Amino acid sequence: MHYDLIIIGLGLSGLMAAKKAVEMGKKTLIIGKGTGSLCLFSNTIDVLGNLPEGMKMANGLPLWIKDHPEHPYSRLDWEKIEQALSSFRSIFQSQYPFQLVDHENCLIPTGAGTYRPAYLIPSTMIAGTSLKHGKVLIVGFKGFKDFYADYTAGQLKCRGIVIPLSEFQGQEMIATAIARLMERESFREALGREVKKQMDGESRIGFPALLGIRDPLSVKTDLEETIGVEVFEIPILPPSIPGMRIFRHFKEWLIQRGVTFLLGHSVLKADLNGKRCESIEVSHPPLSQSYSADRFILATGRFIGGGLKADEEKIFEPLFNLPVLQPGSRDHWFANSFFNGHPIHQAGILTDSSFRPVDQKGEQLLDNVWIAGSILAGHDCIQEKSREGIEISTGYWAAKHALGT
Amino acid sequence: MQMKTEVLIVGGGATGVGIARDLSLRGIPSLLIEKGDFTSGASGRNHGLLHSGARYAVSDPEAATECISENRILKQIAPHCLEETGGLFVSLPEDGLEFRDLFLTSCEKVDIPATLLSRDEALNLEPELNPDFLSAVEVPDGSIDPFSLVVENARDAEKHGARFLLHTEVRSIQVDKGKILGVRAKDLLQGEEHIIDTRYLINATGAWANQFLNLAGLRLDMALSKGSMIITNQRITQRVINRCRRPSDGDILVPNGLVSILGTTSIHLDDVENFEVTRSEVSLLIKEISRMVPVIKGTRFIRTYAGIRPLVLPEEKEDDRAISRGFALIDHEKRDGLKNLITVTGGKLMTYRLMAEKTSDLLCQKMGIQASCSTHRTPLSGKGKPFELKERLREIRPALGKGAEIICDCEIVEREELEESIKKGDLKDLQDILHRTRLAKGTCQGGFCIYRLLGVLHDLKMSRGDPNSILKGFLEERWKGIRPILWGTTLKEEELIESIYKGIFNLEP
């Protein structure tokens, strides 16, 4: 099978690249082992969470770019990033809209009772953004080990209650199972009634982010109707149900438009002919199969995604064996404190301004391969809180550059 | 609070607790105070080896004799705290056989059973051995759980009248006319001050022995030596694997329950509080031990840690007051004219009971009491409890079927079990809980379960202090042990943990 474009990696950057490609009318294959960090950590769309509070993104991001010439954002500008973000938002508009509050980061409560900055916020979390006003009730589920209402409420200085779910007798309560239960109307009605009974004048109710995968808006609306006050979701330990919503909806949208999806398959190797990649070999146990394309996008993520690997001495990129920007010697990979930024996070693939891989001297290495997402060098998306912003914008623009040439 | 005791023991390691038990069985009541939890020092930071003594047979026959004798005693009195794994001494081509021959005759001299195995026998017992090995000798090494051992000693001592005050630090010592009257101490968690009058004081503070004596205006020359270890995420061999050569860095691999421990190094230290495992120690241990067991090279490691060996300098050791070459027992009446003070330090976990016996003998002599030791023949009370994890798993398995809430997925700790140990014990801080459960001991090293533990404590209304500061403190401590081994799969896991706590939860220093 021959494609115009093959995208390796099923995270947010790969999905965005596929979206751009299909919009440009290209025959596209997207392939990956798993969904990487998207279904683990992505709850909101973070663009640059470490800006000073109250600073508009349109002002802060250009300043950041100026100070960080090696950052993936510096291959773009704010206008281009915004264009990619709108493209992302457009496909979620009806079922699971993402909202922007005052064009700046706003704070949402988390499962540890802390606040974290976020830029685009799913409508299921939006009522949590101004938590400091009014009385709030936090609801947890008895036997669910990844959220503790008392702990969270204690930190947020409000009240927490724990509700038993009789549906779970005899089986372990996991996030996806609760989220699926939420999709049952009778279940959420009963839950809503129970919460209402235990209310004490609160004007808002916070739940762990488990309000359904397919249709979270209906879950939220129904709960609000039964209880009579606003409801919001709180991000918790992985897996991320909000991330799964993004993946699921994105996948359906792409498949409807003719993108070929290969989920759960590893790419074994890339077949190169000089500076051109001709095809990739994909494992379909017990066989392997070759897929060829004119162009390729590598969006395999960092260590969790398998895009980067490290042995005792160095960091490497296993598929194309591209040079990886190394964070000094092994002794300098990590800072002394866990909470500091670790130099290893700056490691990654160097590219030119159109996301083509280059070596240290800026020499272009491959003619028809582009790089997108967190595998890129020069950022620390955990510390910066820029994960989704980098993935969405570089995925979109890598595809645009790849297909515009 | 004002307190009074006949004997005050300072230090809650194996030695101090061993003394408390020994005295209690002789009918002498004591109070033990410890600034942290049990085994906070070297007793909790070693490779958990039940020595056969073979390691010392060539270099130090006296220490070897002590070890094999204590080895036999511990198997009788504390079978539930140890596993009789057996051990091998392996010679590699670069070692030759000269040392091996000396080793065999030396073991025979001190009556340590040492059997030369055939090549097939050895590989049959331990298939992961480097196939190039020249020779393998089997000895009765084993592994021991130091925390259980010390807690069992404490429990038994308590039953016979000893008292324990944990998280309490001695701040000053009152001396008058060549005699100690008592100490002032502080409860480090509650802040309460105690004045403790005592007729006899025993310094069992291990590596802190000199610092402690400074409070009484005395000093003891000690050399502190750091030993570093690495824990693997699975058990690599069934037996203890030793390198058959003169003692040096990276010569032992000790199985411990479901994991194995690589040991060890020896690095001079000046500071008894601040020390970490370095990258070069990790490289050295992996390089040396993979010579004996090649799979170590590709093994996943879950944590590093280091302990301090408190060594007393030769001029003290050769003094006639030193009863054994393995440890120092000092009667400060003879040494410094301070009538009622004894220091015991040096030595090793393996000989804790013997150290306690000799210390108690000296104390009885000073007190003018005729009472003899019985710890070598009186089993610890928990005898009969299963030690092996496999059996513990069998115990909790029935509960798993009922949809139990598993708080720690790595080590399978369920909520009910956790709540029980939190409620029954007098647990004062996070370290106390971690010592008494298997939380944070598995592959993720507490990355998930510490957050859950704090949640459970909140549900039980037993949480004290700000949970997020406790969480942050834990993550920093965990980081120290993990940072030197971050590559491969462990690095992947760490990206997950960082993404949770710095990302999703936005915890900041």
CB atoms closer than 10 angstroms to residue B95 = 18
HEC string for B1-65: CEEEEEEEEECCCHHHHHHHHHHHHCCCCEEEECCCCCCCCHHHCCCCEECCCHHHCCCCHHHHH
Q: Note whether A230 and A249 are same-domain residues.
A: no
Instruction: State yes or no: pLDDT of B164 exceeds 50.
Output: yes
Q: Note whether A382 and A263 are same-domain residues.
A: yes
Q: Note whether B126 and B271 are same-domain residues.
A: yes
More confidently predicted of B467 and B403: B467
Whether the complex's predicted ipTM is more than 0.85 is answered with yes
Q: Do the domain assignments include residue A228?
A: yes
d(CA A291, CA A368): 15
d(CA B74, CA A43): 55
d(CA A299, CA A318): 13
What is the domain range of residue B209?
A: 2-42+147-221+313-367
Contact B458 A150 (CB under 8 A): yes
d(CA B162, CA B29): 5
Residue that terminates a domain, selected from B310, B338, B353: B310
Instruction: State yes or no: pLDDT of B390 exceeds 80.
Output: no
Contact B403 A173 (CB under 8 A): yes
Question: Rounded mean pLDDT of A275-302?
Answer: 94
Instruction: For residue A149, give the 3-state DSSP assignment.
Output: helix
- Residue B352's domain is classified under what CATH number? 3.50.50.60
Burial B351-369 (b: 16+ CB within 10 A, else e): bbbbbbbbbbbbbbebeee
Residue that terminates a domain, selected from A234, A256, A277: A234
Q: Note whether B304 and B331 are same-domain residues.
A: no
Residue A205 · residue A232 · CB < 8 Å:
yes
Q: Do the domain assignments include residue B52?
A: no
More confidently predicted of A55 and B419: A55
What's residue B403's pLDDT? 63
Q: Do the domain assignments include residue B75?
A: no
d(CA A23, CA A18): 8
Q: Do the domain assignments include residue A351?
A: yes
d(CA A151, CA A158): 10
Q: Find residue A303's DSSP bridge partners.
A: none
For A127, residues 6+ apart whose C-beta sits below 8 A from its C-beta are A204, A230, A231, A232
Question: Rounded mean pLDDT of B361-380?
Answer: 96
Closest residue in B to A111 (Cα–Cα):
B505
Q: Note whether A65 and A210 are same-domain residues.
A: no
Q: Note whether B362 and B393 are same-domain residues.
A: no
d(CA B343, CA B442): 37
d(CA A269, CA A278): 11
Tokens 């993936």 sit on residue = A72
Q: Do the domain assignments include residue B361?
A: yes
Instruction: For residue B277, give the 3-state DSSP assignment.
Output: coil
Residue B183 · residue B198 · CB < 8 Å:
yes
What's residue A151's pLDDT? 96
Instruction: State yes or no: pLDDT of A259 exceeds 60.
Output: yes
B433–chain A nearest CA distance, Å: 18
What's residue A167's pLDDT? 85
Q: Do the domain assignments include residue B68?
A: no
Question: Rounded mean pLDDT of B267-285?
Answer: 90
Q: Do the domain assignments include residue B64?
A: no
Residue that terminates a domain, selected from B310, B330, B347: B310
More confidently predicted of A62 and B410: A62
Tokens of residue A179, six digits: 């989220």
Number of domains in chain A: 2
Q: Note whether A216 and A162 are same-domain residues.
A: yes
CB-neighbour burial class of residue B249 (10 A; exposed 0-12, middle 13-18, buried 19+): middle
Q: Which of B468, B483, B502 sits opposite A382 (nearest CB)?
A: B502
Residue B407 with chain A: CB contacts under 8 Å: 145
Q: Which of A303, A330, A337 sits opposite B509 (nearest CB)?
A: A337
What's residue B322's pLDDT? 40
Question: Rounded mean pLDDT of B12-36?
Answer: 97
Where does residue B232 fall: left (phi above 0), alpha (psi -120 to 50 degrees), or beta otherwise? beta
Tell whether B283 is within 8 A of chain A (Cβ): yes
How far, in Å, are B49, B67, B139, B240, B324 from residue B110 at the CA level?
19, 10, 13, 20, 16
Residue A150 with chain B: CB contacts under 8 Å: 455, 458-459
Mutation target to probe the A interface, by most A beta carbons within 10 A, among B457, B470, B487, B496 is B487
What's the pLDDT band for B395 if we cut at 50, 70, 90?
A: low
Q: List, for residues A221-252, the tens digit of each pLDDT value.
A: 999 999 999 999 999 999 999 999 999 999 99
Q: Note whether B304 and B324 are same-domain residues.
A: no
| Bridging pattern class, strands B193-203 and B341-346 | parallel
Q: Note whether B295 and B325 are same-domain residues.
A: no
Q: Note whether B306 and B440 are same-domain residues.
A: no
Instruction: State yes or no: pLDDT of B476 exceeds 90.
Output: yes
| Residues found in chain B | 509
Q: Note whether B135 and B157 are same-domain residues.
A: no
Q: Find residue A280's DSSP bridge partners.
A: A270, A291
Mean pLDDT of chain A: 95
Q: List, for residues A64-95, the tens digit of each pLDDT value.
A: 999 999 999 999 999 999 999 999 999 999 98
d(CA A14, CA A298): 8
| Bridging pattern class, strands B222-232 and B267-269 | antiparallel
- Residue B124's domain is classified under what CATH number? 3.30.9.10
Closest residue in B to A384 (Cα–Cα):
B503
Q: Do the domain assignments include residue B118?
A: yes
Residue A35 · residue A10 · CB < 8 Å:
yes
Number of domains in chain B: 3
What's residue B359's pLDDT? 97
Instruction: State yes or no: pLDDT of A19 exceeds 50.
Output: yes
d(CA A312, CA A8): 26
Q: Do the domain assignments include residue A108?
A: no
Q: Note whether B468 and B488 are same-domain residues.
A: yes
Q: Note whether A310 and A395 are same-domain residues.
A: yes
Contact B503 A382 (CB under 8 A): yes
Mutation target to probe the A interface, by most A beta carbons within 10 A, among B470, B494, B495, B500 is B495
Q: Note whether A193 and A292 are same-domain residues.
A: no
d(CA A9, CA B498): 22
Instruction: State yes or no: pLDDT of A114 exceeds 70.
Output: yes
Q: Note whether A219 and A279 are same-domain residues.
A: no
Residue that terminates a domain, selected from A216, A234, A252: A234
Question: Rounded mean pLDDT of B179-189?
Answer: 95
Q: Find residue A309's DSSP bridge partners.
A: A316
- Percent of chain B's residues with pLDDT above 70: 93
Measured in degrees and rounded to the nearest 5, phi and psi for residue B486 equal: -85, 100
Residue B385 · residue B80 · CB < 8 Å:
yes
Q: Note whether B199 and B331 are same-domain residues.
A: yes
Instruction: State yes or no: pLDDT of B63 exceeds 60.
Output: yes
Tokens of residue A77, six digits: 């500008």
Measured in degrees and rounded to the nearest 5, phi and psi for residue A143 equal: 95, -5
d(CA A169, CA B445): 30
Q: Note whether B407 and B360 are same-domain residues.
A: no
d(CA B454, CA B156): 31
d(CA B109, CA B58): 10
Q: Do the domain assignments include residue A101?
A: no
Amino acid occupying residue B42: A
- Residue A140's domain is classified under what CATH number? 3.40.50
Instruction: For residue B398, give the 3-state DSSP assignment.
Output: helix
| Bridging pattern class, strands B222-232 and B259-263 | antiparallel
DSSP A84-120: HHHHHHHTTTTTS-EEESTTB-EEEE-TTS-EEEESE
What's residue B418's pLDDT? 87
Mean pLDDT of chain B: 91
Lowest mean pLDDT among A313-327, B175-189, B310-324: B310-324
d(CA A232, CA A158): 15
Contact A169 B468 (CB under 8 A): no
Residue that terminates a domain, selected from B289, B310, B331: B310
Q: Note whether A74 and A45 are same-domain residues.
A: yes
Q: Note whether B238 and B101 are same-domain residues.
A: yes
* Long-range contact pairs involving B372-377 (C-beta distance under 8 Å, separation at least 24): B372/B26, B373/B22, B373/B25, B373/B26, B374/B25, B374/B26, B375/B18, B375/B21, B375/B22, B375/B25, B375/B77, B376/B73, B376/B77, B377/B76, B377/B77
Q: Residue B132 gets which letter from DSSP?
A: T
d(CA B321, CA A262): 77
What's residue B317's pLDDT? 47
For B188, residues 6+ apart whose C-beta sits below 8 A from its C-beta are B35, B167, B168, B169
Q: Do the domain assignments include residue B152?
A: yes
Q: List, for residues A155-185, the tens digit of each pLDDT value.
A: 999 999 999 998 887 677 999 999 999 999 9
Q: Note whether B398 and B270 are same-domain residues.
A: no
B481–chain A nearest CA distance, Å: 11
What is the domain range of residue A153?
A: 126-234
Contact A309 B488 (CB under 8 A): yes
What's residue B315's pLDDT? 56
Which of these, B123, B484, B466, B54, lies nearest to B302 by C-alpha position?
B484
- Residue A252's domain is classified under what CATH number? 3.50.50.60
Tell whether B275 is within 8 A of chain A (Cβ): no
Q: Note whether A28 and A139 are same-domain residues.
A: no
Contact B479 A151 (CB under 8 A): no
Q: Note whether A385 and A254 are same-domain residues.
A: yes
Instruction: State yes or no: pLDDT of B394 exceeds 60.
Output: no
* Long-range contact pairs involving A55-62 (C-beta distance under 8 Å, separation at least 24): A55/A104, A55/A105, A56/A102, A56/A103, A56/A104, A57/A103, A57/A104, A57/A105, A57/A119, A58/A82, A58/A103
d(CA B202, CA B504): 50
Q: Do the domain assignments include residue B451?
A: yes
Q: Note whether A258 and A214 are same-domain residues.
A: no
Tokens 């000089």 sit on residue = A274
d(CA B374, CA B357): 9
Q: List, for residues B75-134, the tens digit of each pLDDT value.
A: 999 999 999 999 999 999 999 999 999 999 999 999 999 999 999 999 999 999 999 999
What's residue B393's pLDDT? 54
Question: Rounded mean pLDDT of B293-317?
Answer: 86
